[in-house]
């Protein structure tokens, strides 16, 4: 079968991490936009908000009082989606009505005492302290033998359902493996057994060779737009060294991760001169679940913005009923992000 003009004609791309496909329609990116326009957030906040339940010294929703913390602050979510003391139970009616209890621990991490900052506006040293907390919390949660997976993530911006603008992320640790993890586990394990190398090691080597979708390339991490990206400005961070989870990172690697996170999120904000919303999270090896050498640490960023700070990408119609679809190609998105300055746009107005 001959090659085709990948930047001109409709085609599908394979997501090698999940085994799923996405439809790419590059010719549609030229069409005029007459769809939904979101209201632009001015994103002007004070350093301290007396009504914020994450600011130092304030009361949270359950009445607890935050300490006067100076760096990151971690606590069990006052309205956890998973509960530690849930007893085991299941329902199975003829294999048609099936349910089972899920046990877990949900934590919140306030990244900084400053109410007015986001990751791209924080110093690298302060982001490194957040990475330290991620690492220590992962190790602490993994010490519970009943916990099988630990999901570290951040929802940024009200458009992504973030209920509090204070810079924070979450960690959900649970007793079973989530569906996205099961998909990635299958793909990575099959590749590792066949090739004796991690799937993402070989993928990263090919991306670095082609240099079409690379955004950041430093000593320890690469940020790129994956070939199969579904969201317009979706990116992925991959560790150059094959490690299975965050506990394996050295001090030097953690500092490089902090630098990568700062630079990528600055580039995001600079695309539309706005606080760029996203959901982001790490995928790493399950815990207390046997040998996991085939897992390779990586981090996904899923931003919803499409054409401007006020135009959001919706997964609807064909995408809900068939498979994801995008107009702007991964290569064009990478070019746009890569061409952004690494000085935050707000710095030019100070």
**Distance between CA atoms of residues 78 and 144, nearest Å:** 20
Instruction: Indicate which residue of 27, 115, 166, 168 is catalytic.
Output: 168
Alpha-carbon dihedral sign for residues 131, 280, 224, 188: positive
**Distance between CA atoms of residues 305 and 160, nearest Å:** 11
Sheet with 21-24, side-by-side order of all strands = 11-14, 21-24, 325-326
> In 3-state terms, the chain is what percent helix, strand and coil (to 5)?
30, 20, 50
Joined together, the tokens standing for residue 128 give 């490194």
- DSSP lists the bridge partners of residue 13 as 22
Residue 139 CB partners (closer than 8 Å, separation 6+): 247
- CA dihedral angle for residue 311, residue 313, residue 317, residue 320, rounded to 10 degrees: -150
**Distance between CA atoms of residues 86 and 82, nearest Å:** 8
Residue 124 DSSP SS3: helix
Residue 251 CB partners (closer than 8 Å, separation 6+): none
Question: Are the C-beta atoms of 310 and 39 separated by less than 8 Å?
Answer: yes
Residue 168 catalytic? Answer: yes
**Distance between CA atoms of residues 127 and 140, nearest Å:** 20
- Which residues are designated catalytic? 168
């Amino acid at each position: 079968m001959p090659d085709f003009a990948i930047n001109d004609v409709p085609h599908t791309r394979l997501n090698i991490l999940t085994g799923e496909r996405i439809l790419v329609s590059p010719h549609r990116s030229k069409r005029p936009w007459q769809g939904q326009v979101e209201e632009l957030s001015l994103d002007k906040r004070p350093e301290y908000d007396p009504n914020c339940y994450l600011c130092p010294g304030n009361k949270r929703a359950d009445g607890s009082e935050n300490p006067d913390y100076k760096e990151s602050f971690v606590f069990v979510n006052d309205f956890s989606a998973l509960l530690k003391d849930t007893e085991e139970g299941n329902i199975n009616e003829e294999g048609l009505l099936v349910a089972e209890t899920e046990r877990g621990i949900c934590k919140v991490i306030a990244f900084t005492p400053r109410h007015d900052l986001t990751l791209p506006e924080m110093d690298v040293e302060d982001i490194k302290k957040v990475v330290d907390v991620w690492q220590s919390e992962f190790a602490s949660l993994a010490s519970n033998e009943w916990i099988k997976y630990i999901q570290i993530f951040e929802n940024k911006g009200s458009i992504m359902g973030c209920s509090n603008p204070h810079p924070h992320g979450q960690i959900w640790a649970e007793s079973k493996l989530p569906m996205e993890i099961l998909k990635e586990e299958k793909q990575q394990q099959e590749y590792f057994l066949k090739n004796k190398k991690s799937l993402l090691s070989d993928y990263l080597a090919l991306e670095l060779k082609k240099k079409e979708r690379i955004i950041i390339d430093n000593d320890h991490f690469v940020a790129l737009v994956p070939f199969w990206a579904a969201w317009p400005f979706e990116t992925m961070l991959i560790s150059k060294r094959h490690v299975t989870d965050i506990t394996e990172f050295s001090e030097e690697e953690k500092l490089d991760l902090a630098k990568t996170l700062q630079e990528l999120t600055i580039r995001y904000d600079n695309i539309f001169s706005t606080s760029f919303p996203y959901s982001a999270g790490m995928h790493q090896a399950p815990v207390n679940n046997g040998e996991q050498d085939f897992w390779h640490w990586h981090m996904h960023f899923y931003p919803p913005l499409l054409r401007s700070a006020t135009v959001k990408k919706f997964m609807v119609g064909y995408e809900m009923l068939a498979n994801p679809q995008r107009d702007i190609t991964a290569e064009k998105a990478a070019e746009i992000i890569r061409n952004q300055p690494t000085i935050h746009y707000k710095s030019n107005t100070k």
